[in-house]
């Protein structure tokens, strides 16, 4: 066996998977996992751990796989992460843990994410769940939002004995994990639901259909319902539009709407009532993970899909694996192109998009070269559906209804980075609500830090 190379992982064939919503990556078998695990050289100062926002003891759990004790491997991971089956699937590993892996210097990094996923899937299939705490302290803590930040914070607090209630605005807990990331990357029934059930097993209560700021305010939770601390993990769900002519035409959607219809409301399944417009020729504007997800969803619904991105392929912010999968599935890419206008027919439906060519100019603050328009380079592409995937902002609902909660110019909640403490006593925050759109594992990391800080705050308060 060539130790420089990864054990390959099975995937659904692209020509088959474009016709279904089943998961693309099929995961390792026990033997394959053991073989891949044996590539880890068990570094004394493991650099991989530094790359993981929740500092999972990576050599520790990998060593258990080598020994064949998968249950113990799961126990090791569970000390750090509440959602390993999810992170193993959606973490941008190649820029986090795996980027630092020593194996990556000469050959391919150890497939840490895929191994993590294997362990979590094995534990679920063998009904192994984290154990509830021995003692409850009866102190009530509210967690707002059930995305990765909220779920992680809730788990850690429940394990410390707190009486935790998660409030979720939508009818299903999970945040972006259920409404944004598609089924074919992250199965809902098989993967997300069980991880949320594990939380319930720890004693966490989840109240859906409660919109904090509307159904009840943070002030009321603290003053009337007896919650002694609050964690805000409300995400960054507000979609941006471009502000170009024709953007309100029928057939123009935000990626959030398109993905929510398909994922949360299961419009792709004809047993569910929510409709979705599939389109024959779809343009997706943007180049992030969200754009890839929207494009691959539209493809599976039967459309011919083109991603329109204003910079070049090198600058694509999406994960390499997602871009690779998208290409394999037959998504077209139009780089250095920016929409100027959406053309509308007499009934109000999209009939095309006028675009302009771009070229890369000087570097901006982010170190990326700024795209500038090429004069007189307008051209028209024929499409009947346009999906705008231009990033999102935090929703102002909570900040505008909570006294003394400070936000910055972009509407993000201002916190102390180490603790998640906001400008309001007893109120902590983390995840996309603080950073703007980031990643699942960063949101989890913030939830973890805040849980620790809430515990310390409440201990000090009780003294």
Partner 1 sequence: MSKDYTYVITRKEKLAESIYLMDIKAPRVAAHCYPGQFVILKIDEKGERIPLTICDYDRDNGIVTIVFQALGHSTKLMAEYEVGEAFRDFTGPLGKKSELIDMPREELSKKKVLFVAGGVGAAPVYPQVKWMKENGYEPDCIIGARSKDFVILEDQIRQYANNLYITTDDGSYGMKGNVNDAIRHLVQEKGKHYDIVVAIGPMIMMKFVSLLTKELNIKTIVSMNPIMVDGTGMCGACRLTVGNEIKFACVDGPEFDGHLVNFDEAMKRLSMYKTKEGKKILREKEGETHHHKDCQIHKE
User: x/- string (CB under 6 A) for ligand FAD, residues 238-277?
Assistant: ---------------------x---------------x--
Q: Which helix (H) or strand (E) holds 386?
A: strand 385-388
Among 42, 208, 377, 408, binds partner 1 (CB under 8 A): 208
Minimal distance, residue 239 CB to partner 1, in Å? 5
Helices (H), 301-388: 320-329
In the complex, the smallest distance separating the C-beta of residue 18 from ligand FAD, rounded to whole angstroms, is 19
Residue for token digits 């609902």? 397
Q: Are 111 and 38 in contact (CB under 8 A)?
A: no
Q: Is 359 helix (H, G, I), strand (E, B) or coil?
A: strand
DSSP designation for 7: P
- The smaller minimum CB distance to ligand SF4, of residues 93 and 278, is found at 93
Cα–Cα distance, 282 to 15 (Å, whole number) = 19
User: Under the criterion CB under 6 A, does residue 432 sit at the interface with ligand FAD?
Assistant: yes
243 binds, among ligand FAD, partner 1, ligand SF4, none (CB under 5 to 8 A by kind): partner 1
128 is an interface residue for ligand SF4 by CB under 6 A: no
Taking the mean position of all CA atoms in its chain, how far away is CA 324? Answer: 18
Which of 113, 54, 102 lies closest to 80, judged by CA? 54
- Whether 83 and 176 have beta carbons less than 8 Å apart is answered as no
Residue 43 within binding range of ligand SF4, rule CB under 6 A: yes
56 is in the binding site of which of partner 1, ligand FAD, ligand SF4, none (Cβ under 5 to 8 A by kind)? ligand SF4
* Helices 70-78 + 58-67 axis angle, to 10: 170
87 binds ligand SF4 (CB under 6 A): yes
Query: In terms of CB distance, is 97 or 282 closer to ligand SF4?
Result: 97
- From the list 51, 60, 235, 339, which residue makes contact with ligand FAD (rule: CB under 6 A)? 235
User: Cβ closer to partner 1: 96 or 407?
Assistant: 407
How do beta strands 304-308 and 281-285 pair?
parallel
Q: Does the footprint of ligand SF4 cover residue 58 (CB under 6 A)?
A: yes
- By a kind-dependent CB cut-off of 5 to 8 A, residue 239 interacts, out of ligand SF4, partner 1, ligand FAD, none, with partner 1
Mask for 61-100, x = binds ligand FAD (CB under 6 A): -----------------------------xxx--------
Stretch that binds ligand SF4, among 107-115, 203-211, 218-226, 385-393 (CB under 6 A): 107-115
**Residue 132 has what DSSP assignment?**
P
For residues 357 and 377, is the Cβ–Cβ distance under 8 A?
yes
Strands 252-254 and 140-144, by their bridges, are unpaired
Distance of CA 346 to the CA centre of its chain: 39
CA distance 433 to 2: 44
Least Å from the CB of residue 179 to ligand FAD: 7
**Nearest alpha-carbon partner for 319 in 115, 151, 327:** 327
Q: Which of 37, 70, 85, 101: binder of ligand SF4 (CB under 6 A)?
A: 101
Q: Is 41 in the site for ligand SF4 (CB under 6 A)?
A: yes
Q: How far apart are CA 344 and CA 353, in angstroms?
A: 9
Tell me how far apart the alpha carbons of residues 319 and 291 are, in angstroms, rounded to a whole number. 11
Which has the closest alpha carbon to 152: 122, 91, 195, 181?
195
Binding to ligand FAD, residues 106-135 (CB under 6 A): none
256 burial (CB, 10 Å; 0-12 / 13-18 / 19+) is: buried
**Contact range with partner 1 by CB under 8 A, out of 42-50, 204-212, 297-305, 356-364:** 204-212
Q: Specify the DSSP class assigned to residue 130.
A: P
| CA distance linking residue 207 with residue 267, whole number of Å | 24
Told to check if 448 binds ligand SF4 by CB under 6 A, we report: no
- Chain contacts with ligand SF4 (rule: CB under 6 A): 40-43, 46-48, 52, 54, 56, 58-59, 81, 87-88, 91, 93, 96-97, 101-103, 110, 112-113, 116, 441
- Chain contacts with partner 1 (rule: CB under 8 A): 169-171, 179, 208-211, 214-216, 237-239, 241, 243, 247-248, 250, 253-254, 256-257, 260-261, 265-266, 271-275, 277, 347-348, 395, 397
- Chain contacts with ligand FAD (rule: CB under 6 A): 90-92, 144-150, 167-170, 175-176, 180-181, 211-213, 233-235, 237, 259, 275, 289-290, 293, 319, 395, 397-398, 431-433, 437-441, 443
């Amino acid at each position: 066996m060539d130790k420089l190379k990864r054990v390959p992982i099975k995937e659904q064939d692209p020509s088959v998977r474009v016709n279904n919503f089943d998961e693309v990556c099929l995961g390792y078998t026990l033997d394959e996992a053991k073989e891949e695990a044996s590539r880890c050289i068990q570094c004394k100062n493991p650099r991989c751990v530094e790359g993981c926002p929740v500092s999972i003891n990576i050599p520790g759990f990998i060593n258990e796989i080598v020994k064949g004790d998968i249950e113990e491997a799961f126990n090791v991971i569970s000390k750090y992460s509440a959602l390993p089956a999810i992170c193993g699937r959606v973490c941008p590993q190649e820029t986090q843990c795996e980027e630092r892996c020593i194996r990556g210097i000469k050959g391919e990094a150890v497939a840490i994410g895929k191994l993590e996923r294997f362990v979590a899937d094995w534990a679920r299939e063998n009904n192994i769940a984290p154990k509830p705490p021995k003692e409850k302290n009866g102190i009530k803590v509210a967690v707002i939002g059930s995305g990765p930040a909220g779920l992680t914070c809730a788990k850690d607090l429940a394990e410390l004995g707190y009486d935790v209630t998660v409030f979720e605005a939508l009818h299903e807990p999970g945040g972006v994990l259920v409404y944004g990331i598609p089924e074919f990357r992250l199965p809902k029934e098989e993967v997300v639901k069980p991880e949320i059930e594990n939380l319930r097993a720890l004693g966490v209560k989840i109240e859906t259909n409660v919109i904090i700021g509307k159904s009840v305010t943070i002030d009321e939770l603290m003053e009337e319902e007896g919650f002694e601390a609050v964690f805000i993990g409300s995400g960054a769900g507000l979609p941006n539009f471009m502000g170009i002519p024709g953007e309100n035409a029928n057939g123009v959607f935000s990626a959030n709407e398109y993905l929510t219809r398909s994922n949360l409301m299961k419009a792709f399944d004809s047993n569910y009532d929510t409709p979705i417009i599939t389109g024959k020729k779809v343009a997706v504007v943007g180049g992030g993970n969200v754009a890839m997800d929207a494009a691959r969803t539209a493809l599976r619904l039967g459309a011919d899909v083109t991603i329109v991105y204003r910079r070049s392929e090198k600058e694509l912010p999406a994960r390499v694996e997602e871009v690779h999968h998208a290409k394999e599935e037959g998504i077209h890419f139009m780089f250095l192109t920016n929409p100027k206008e959406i053309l509308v027919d007499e009934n109000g439906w999209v009939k095309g998009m006028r675009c302009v060519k771009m070229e890369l100019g000087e570097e901006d603050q982010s170190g990326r070269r700024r795209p500038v328009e090429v004069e007189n380079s307008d051209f028209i592409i024929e499409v009947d559906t346009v999906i705008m995937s231009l990033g999102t902002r935090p929703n102002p609902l909570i900040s505008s209804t909570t006294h003394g909660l400070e936000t910055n110019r972009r509407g993000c909640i201002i916190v102390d980075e180490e603790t998640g403490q906001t400008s309001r006593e007893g109120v902590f925050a983390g995840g996309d609500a603080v950073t703007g759109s980031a990643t699942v594992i960063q949101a989890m990391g913030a939830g973890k830090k805040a849980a620790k800080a809430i515990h310390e705050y409440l201990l000090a308060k009780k003294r």
